[in-house]
Structure 1
Amino acid sequence: MKGYSNTEEHRRACEARQILAWPFEKRRPYLEMVGKRRGEAAQKELEMEVKRQYQLAKAAA
């Protein structure tokens, strides 16, 4: 039986939190690399998740 940590949603949330930990100037190049390797849809999903994680962190502070 797979747990929550084995879902695509959890993986994407973890990746988004990692991106937020990086300096701002490293974020855009990484997201563009995701677009090239995984496709534009994956890049957009990850960008949305980064924004969501940012809002969650901001609300918790």
Structure 2
Amino acid sequence: MVYYLLAIDQASIDLVYAQPNNQDLVKRIESRHGLHQLTAMRDLKMGNPQYELISIN
């Protein structure tokens, strides 16, 4: 069975961090240890953090 949970969360965080003028949200995520979920999911082997975004225009 293929798990996409980690890839979805990783892509979401990467998109947040890629946005300009987004320091408030990044500070909030980091102050609440929001990235811990990604580490825990990786440790529990809940998927692969690699992903490919595709446009569906």
Q: Give the TM-score, by structure 2 length.
A: 0.38
Larger RCO: 1 or 2 (CA < 8 Å, sep 6+): 2
Higher helix share: 1
